[in-house]
Each structure stands twice: as C-alpha cells, then as structure tokens.
Amino acid sequence: MTHSRPRIRELLDEGHLAPRRDLGQNFVADANTVRRIAHLAKVGPGDGVVEIGAGLGSLTLALAETGAEVTAVEIDRGLAAALRTIVAGLANVRVVEADAMTLDWDGVVGPGPVVLVANLPYNVATPLVADVLDGVPQVARLLVMVQREVAERFAAVPRTPAYGAVSVKIAYWATARIVGLVPASVFVPRPNVESALVEIVRREPPATDPIALFGLVRTAFNQRRKMLRRSLAGVVAAEQFAAAGIEPTARPEELDVAAWCALAEASAA
C-alpha cells in the first residue's frame, strides 16, 4: 500500500495542497523506491522508527508494512492533517506535527534506540544530521535520502573533493556509506538533481572532546586551500603539530578523524 503518482495528485487536490518550494517538498511516487528504502532501513516488528518529513506518507506506508513502530514527523500543517487520515487505520503509526530542527527528541523517541529514516531537503539535511549525531544518542542508525552532492559529503574520505568539516563530524560519531541512488523521475514534483541514500551507523566515538575538535575542524576548513600552519595560525603552535604527528604543511582534507583528534588533543595540552 503505497502512493502512485495519480494518487499523490489526488491527495493534494483533496486537501487543497501544493508542494512547497520553501520546505523542499518532493513526494516519492514509486512503490519500488519506498519499499527499497524500507528494506535498507533494516527495520521490522519491535523496532522504533522516526521518519522526518513524512509528507503524504509514501514512505510511511512502506515502513509501516515492515511492522515497525513508526513516528512520522511533518512540519506542514496541511500535510500532517492529510497524513493522519491516510494512516488512520494503522495502529503502528503516529503522526507528530513539528519542526524536526526544534523537535523534543526525548519526548518523541524516549530512551530509544530508534532508526531515523528521512527524505531530507537540501537546506536542512546537513544541520539536521549533524544535530542528531551531536545530541540524540537514542538514534542508533540513520538512513537518509538527500541530494547526491550532500550524500557524497556525508560519506567522503580524506583526500577526496567532497571531504569537508561535515565528513569529519560524521566520521567522529559514525560510519557512513552511500547505499543507493534515486533518480529524479520518481518524485512529484520532479527535482533538478539526483538523490542518494546514505546509511549512517553510530559508533563509540573517540575520547577527544567533540566541541574542541569540531571548532578546530571548522576553523581549518574555512580556509581549506591553505596549509594548516596558516589556517590554524594562532590556534595550533609548531610544537603542537609535532606532538600530534601532523605536518603543518598539510591541508585540512588530508587528515582523517584520528589525525584531527590527535591535533585537537595536542592543541589543548
């Protein structure tokens, strides 16, 4: 039970709704795609799932079919109302009308663990994933559909063009990999970009203080083309580079998360 393209248009018309560009609303209209996402989420009976940006429920219905307990979060009041009607007969789905960026996660997910599944618009994908990894340990795993360019940043490794500050943040908290591509043709309306699915699995992070680490990483990547001795001038001294075993002539994209942790610890000593 998932939505076809005609059914999505019908639901929009019934609710006097239209996709909102400011919220990046693109609805999946392909049963194979939503079932593939539900399969990749690796959830089933007894599992807790939080779906961000549930929209009209195409993915919500596919997740519900697995038997998981689904909390569908939707910011748009009109869509949330429509979604409540769509899932009214499903005992394992509840709808929460809220902004995921200000969500009371403890109230919504309790002690966890839960899996976060989402079709995320470009403008919130990076801050939402970063905030969840930083502050919502109950989310043990994420499967997010994002613009392909963003997905590549999430899963990037050192010495690649996509590697940046968000890559380091994700690598500190988790392991990430692209598990699939999603063509623009499955969406209503059709976006101008290809999407990708990223699986992010939380792990035990290094002992390094994340606040100090991420502050250092941001400072360096703000001038990513410069050598570290220049971008971190006044922040990391020559002897601290030596203590960390890091060449001051290196550039930010050359350091993996272990090297960044070593440099943060040395600079705090």
Compute, in degrees rounded to 10, the torsion defined by CA atoms 188, 6, 34, 116.
Answer: 60
- Interatomic CA distance for residues 186 and 184, integer angstroms: 6
Task: List, in sequence order, every residue forming a beta bridge with 95; answer none if it has no partner.
Answer: 72
What is the reported pLDDT for 13? Answer: 74
| Residue partners of 21: CB distance under 8 A and separation at least 6 | none
Can you tell me the distance from the alpha carbon of 16 to that of 18, in angstroms, rounded to the nearest whole number?
Answer: 7
With helix as H, strand as E and coil as C, how does 182-247 read? ECHHHEECCCCCCEEEEEEEECCCCCCCHHHHHHHHHHHHCCCCCCHHHHCCCCCCHHHHHHHCCC
Can you tell me the distance from the alpha carbon of 150 to that of 181, in angstroms, rounded to the nearest whole number? Answer: 12
Helix (H), strand (E) counts: the chain: 12, 9
| The pLDDT value given to residue 1 | 61
What is the full per-residue pLDDT of the chain (269 aa) written as tens digits? 667 777 877 777 777 777 677 776 788 888 999 999 999 999 999 999 999 999 999 999 999 999 999 999 999 999 999 999 999 999 999 999 999 999 999 999 999 899 999 999 888 999 999 999 999 999 999 999 999 999 999 999 999 999 999 999 999 999 999 999 999 999 887 888 899 999 999 999 999 999 999 999 999 999 999 999 999 999 999 999 999 999 999 999 999 999 999 999 999 87
- 192 by Cβ neighbours in 10 Å (0-12 / 13-18 / 19+) ranks as exposed
User: What is residue 19's predicted lDDT score, i.e. its pLDDT?
Assistant: 67
- Residues in contact with 258: Cβ distance below 8 Å, sequence separation at least 6, in sequence order: 206
**Which residues on neighbouring strands pair with residue 118, listed in sequence order?**
52, 144
pTM: 0.92
Q: Domains plus CATH for the chain?
A: 5-202 (3.40.50.150), 210-268 (1.10.8.100)
Euclidean distance between CA atoms 13 and 82, whole angstroms: 11
